[in-house]
Amino acid sequence: MNNVLIIYFELTFQVKSRVPLINRIKTLGAWAKLGNSAYLVMTQYNPVQVRDHLWEVMNKADKIYVGVCGAPSAWNNLPQDVSNWIRTNQKK
């Protein structure tokens, strides 16, 4: 069963760890970028599995949050493609 998860992170060493982390997020399933440090991902994995998978390429001082993101939700000023992704993939 697929869930839409929200992933939020803060990196202490941005230049070194951002690219591997983003690449790893994108392998989890269909995704939408909410901002510089936040993604929505439709994946078969649960939040603990995703956190642990991403943590492997993060520094120990970094921060990460992974949670289930279900409907209803609300937003403003996101790009149209992100809004469409949310409407299409978020469970009601």
Which domain range does residue 72 map to?
3-89
pLDDT over 70 at 15, yes or no? no
pLDDT of residue 90: 87
Give, in order, the Cα–Cα distances in Å from 92 to each of 47, 75, 84, 88: 19, 16, 15, 10
pLDDT of residue 91: 72
| Averaged pLDDT, 17-23 | 88
At residue 81, what are phi and psi to the nearest 5 degrees?
A: -65, -35
For 33-90, the pLDDT digits (tens) are: 999 999 999 999 999 999 999 999 998 899 999 999 988 899 999 999 999 999 999 8
- 30's CB contacts (< 8 A; 6+ apart) are 41, 42, 85, 89
| CATH number of the CATH domain containing 61 | 3.30.70.240
Number of structural domains (the chain) is: 1
| Averaged pLDDT, 4-14 | 90
